Amino acid sequence: MESYKDLIKSLRKIRTKREKFKAQVSELQKQEDYLEGIIINQMLSDGVQRVTVKHYGICFLKHEIYPSLMGWNKFINYVMKYKEYTLLTKKVNSKAWRELLEAGQKVPGVDSFEKDTLQFRRK
């Protein structure tokens, strides 16, 4: 069995590596977003929907509409009135649920499970 010192030392090394990769991924994502923006603008300007570059790939323009919630009360009233529950995601807000649980309220249709997690801070 390894000592806590060895285990925590290994954990710190791995987390440090992951954080470095995460920073690199974040920077690469910014570069990717920037290039995608340039390509989209150029395709729109040129009036093309598809560009093929031999040995590299194909880019397609895809136009979609996304929701932007402007008024929660109006939205939830609509959902309830017309029973359009598919507009809602099926996830319980953990913090709000815990607050109700601590206040002695049980939320119907919601069960719980316990999970141990490790909190780690560097010195």
- What is the structure's pLDDT at 102? 94
C-alpha pair distances (Å), 71 with each of 4, 6, 30, 79: 51, 52, 31, 12
pTM: 0.65
Give, for 58, the enclosing helix (H) or strand (E).
strand 57-60
- 23 pLDDT exceeds 80? yes
Each residue of 59-114: pLDDT tens digit? 999 989 989 999 999 999 999 999 999 999 989 999 999 999 999 999 999 998 88
User: Closest Cα partner for 100 from 88, 117, 92?
Assistant: 92
